[in-house]
Amino acid sequence: MSTDIKTRSEIGEILYHLTRDRLGLAGLIIVSLIVFSAILAPWIVPYDPIAMNIPDRLQGPSLSHLLGTDQLGRDTFSRVIMGGRVALQVAIPTIAGAISIGLFLGMIAGYGPKWLDTLIVLLFDTLRSFPTVMFALAVVALVGPSLNTVILVIMITSIPTYGRVVRTLTQSLRSSEFITAEKSLGASTTRILGVHILPNVLGPLAVLAAMDIPTVVGLEAGLSFLGMGVKPPTPSWGSLLNDGYSLIRNTPWLIISGGIPLILTTLGFTFLGEALRDVVDPKLRGRGGVK
């Protein structure tokens, strides 16, 4: 009833509800920390993350090296911070690409003729049947490890996740009264899709994207852990874990500091996604996450 709720913008409204939810607030704080440290990384890092310093190698945490050093004497803390940059550099284009293509195909499938729908659903089912990591490994086997390969492969296999949701939403909106009204007023298909359906699909997509980020970040780290992602000496959380794995009996610090940012990213984005879902669509409450 009060006027201040009415005048609040939509984003303000979402933020207001997010901060009321304890897990949502925790998620928001963790995610902001990760995003800001990735953006400001070059100014935060105390050392050059790829500068070797052999005499100081394999040290434990100390005041000069907060998380110790690796086998080449590189500062682990600096590598962790720069690794966040790599993680987001992979996650953002991957998810943006998958959303755009999924949105396009999903709306066509949901609004277009039946045969096109069948065809696109078949395409989704096909893309979905590639086990992501195996597929990525097959491509890497041919072109060699690179971040672009990782981005491309995860993007292709993520398209169905978004496309299917968009398709279902478009289908249910298509028969709703306000769309029928628009149609009878003579609105074009592009106008209906772009002006009326698109805004209604974006909310659930944002939730899905927030929940999908940890999966993508985890895959990038996993492939880099296998030596199939970033090329050395670029720091990635996965390559830190790889170094730590081979030195597991010498020092635990590399594994500990490579894993914690991954766990934090996972927790932060999952909490945020959960809370966001409750704000965007209370009906979805209590359902499982993205798998």
Partner 1 sequence: MLVYILKRLGLAAVITVLAVSLLFVIIHLIPGDPVSTMLGPKASPELRAALEARMGLDKPLPVQIGLFFLNMLKGDLGIDVFSNRAVTDIVLGQVPYTLTLILFSIFWSASLGIILGCYSAVNRNSIGDRLTGILSVSVIAMPAFVVALYSLLIFAVWLKWFPAIGAGEPGDWGDQFWHLILPSLAIGLSWVGYIARLVRASMLEILGEGHIRTARAFGLPERWVTYRYALRLAILPTVTVIGVGMGFLLSAAVFTEIVFSRPGLGKLVIDSITTRNYPVVMGSVLFSTLIFVASTTLADIINAVLDPRARAGK
User: Which of these segments, 77-85, 169-177, 180-188, 259-267, binds partner 1 (CB under 8 A)?
Assistant: 259-267
Q: Which residues contact 210 (CB under 8 A, 6 or more apart)?
A: 269, 272, 273, 276
| Min separation Cβ 49 and partner 1, Å | 21
Closest distance of CB 123 from partner 1, Å? 8
Task: Report how far residue 53's alpha carbon sits from residue 209's, in angstroms, rounded to the nearest whole number.
Answer: 40
By CB under 8 A, the residues from 166 to 205 that bind partner 1 are none
User: In angstroms, rounded to a whole number, what is the distance separating the alpha carbons of residues 79 and 82?
Assistant: 5
Under 8 Å between Cβ of 32 and 266: no
Task: Find the helix packing angle between 147-174 and 114-128, rounded to 10°.
Answer: 140
288 scored as a contact of partner 1 (CB under 8 A):
yes
Contact call for residue 283 and partner 1 (CB under 8 A): no
Report phi then psi at 190, rounded to 5. -60, -40
- Of residues 182, 189, 4, 19, the one with CA closest to residue 107: 189
Candidates 241, 272, 276, 279; binder of partner 1 (CB under 8 A) is 241
The size of the interface with partner 1 (CB under 8 A), counted in residues, is 55
Residue 222 touching partner 1 (CB under 8 A): yes
Do you know the residue count of the chain? 291
Estimate to the nearest angstrom the gap between the alpha carbon of 274 and the chain centroid.
14
Considering only residues 25 to 44 of the shown chain, the ones binding partner 1 according to CB under 8 A are none
Which among 74-82, 107-115, 120-128, 177-185 is the span making contact with partner 1, rule CB under 8 A? Answer: 120-128
Place of tokens 């984005």: 269
Residue 208 C-beta: closest distance to partner 1, Å: 13
| 114 lies in the site for partner 1, by CB under 8 A | no
Q: Residue 113 class from Cβ within 10 Å (0-12 exposed, 13-18 middle, 19+ buried)?
A: exposed
- Closest separation in Å from C-beta 141 to partner 1: 5
- Residue nearer to partner 1 on the CB measure, 77 or 271: 271
Look at the block and give the residue holding tokens 């893309």.
127
Contact between 255 and partner 1 per CB under 8 A = yes
CB 106 within 8 A of CB 164: yes
Selected from 218, 239, 243, 257, the binder of partner 1 by CB under 8 A is 218
Q: Of residues 94, 158, 215, 257, which one binds partner 1 by CB under 8 A?
A: 215
Could you give the CA distance from residue 87 to residue 239 in angstroms, rounded to a whole number? 11
The residue among 166 and 240 lying less far from partner 1, judged by its C-beta, is 240
- Report the residue from 70, 243, 274, 278 that binds partner 1 according to the rule CB under 8 A: 274
Q: Select from 198, 226, 247, 280 the one that contacts partner 1 (CB under 8 A).
A: 226
For residue 277, count CB atoms less than 10 angstroms from its CB and return exposed for 0-12, middle for 13-18, buried for 19 or more. Answer: buried
Residues between 130 and 169 that touch partner 1 (CB under 8 A): 130-135, 137-144, 156
Q: Are 111 and 197 spatial neighbours (Cβ–Cβ below 8 Å)?
A: yes
Contact footprint for partner 1 (CB under 8 A): 23, 122-123, 125-135, 137-144, 156, 211, 214-215, 218-219, 221-222, 225-226, 228, 241, 244-245, 248-249, 252, 255-256, 259, 262-263, 266-267, 269-271, 274, 286-289, 291
